[in-house]
Amino acid sequence: MMPLLVVMGDVVGIYGGYFVAVQLLGANPVAYVDNSFQFLHVSDDVVSGIIKAAVFGLIFRSSPAFAATTRRGARKAWAARRPAPSWSGSLTVLVVDFFLTKLLY
């Protein structure tokens, strides 16, 4: 779901910027659309954002799995689960984000 949320966030951000620029600040709507899509590179910006969102979603999904380990089997592990520390997923995302940025750009 993370890539879908990123796409929705991108669309809402573009429309929100359009609303602020055109309705509130009185900018030319054609100029806003032309300039927005002139500087938006789909292969670089959008695709890399979706790839990063998918990887970050996997990281946050797997973080609690490492915190619920036990030697008594799967049922006991499910019963003994506890939330992962809040910093573990965030720190992992920061490190992985650095390497993904180096790889994708």
Digit-by-digit pLDDT tens for the chain (105 residues) are 899 999 999 999 999 999 999 999 999 999 999 998 898 888 788 899 999 999 999 988 876 655 555 555 666 656 555 555 666 778 888 999 999 999 988
Q: Using CA of residue 3, residue 8, residue 9, residue 14, what is the dihedral sign?
A: positive
Q: What is the DSSP string of 3-35?
A: HHHHHHHHHHHHHHHHIIIIIIT---HHHHHHH
Residue length of the chain: 105
Q: For position 55, what pLDDT does the model report?
A: 94
Say if pTM beats, i.e. exceeds, 0.75.
Answer: no
Q: For position 44, what pLDDT does the model report?
A: 83
Contact 66, 85 (CB under 8 A): no
Q: Using CA of residue 30, residue 33, residue 35, residue 38, what is the dihedral sign?
A: negative
Q: For position 59, what pLDDT does the model report?
A: 87
What does the alpha-carbon distance between residue 38 and residue 12 come to, in Å, rounded to a whole number? 18
Token look-up 């879908």 returns: 4
Q: For position 104, what pLDDT does the model report?
A: 87
Q: For position 88, what pLDDT does the model report?
A: 72
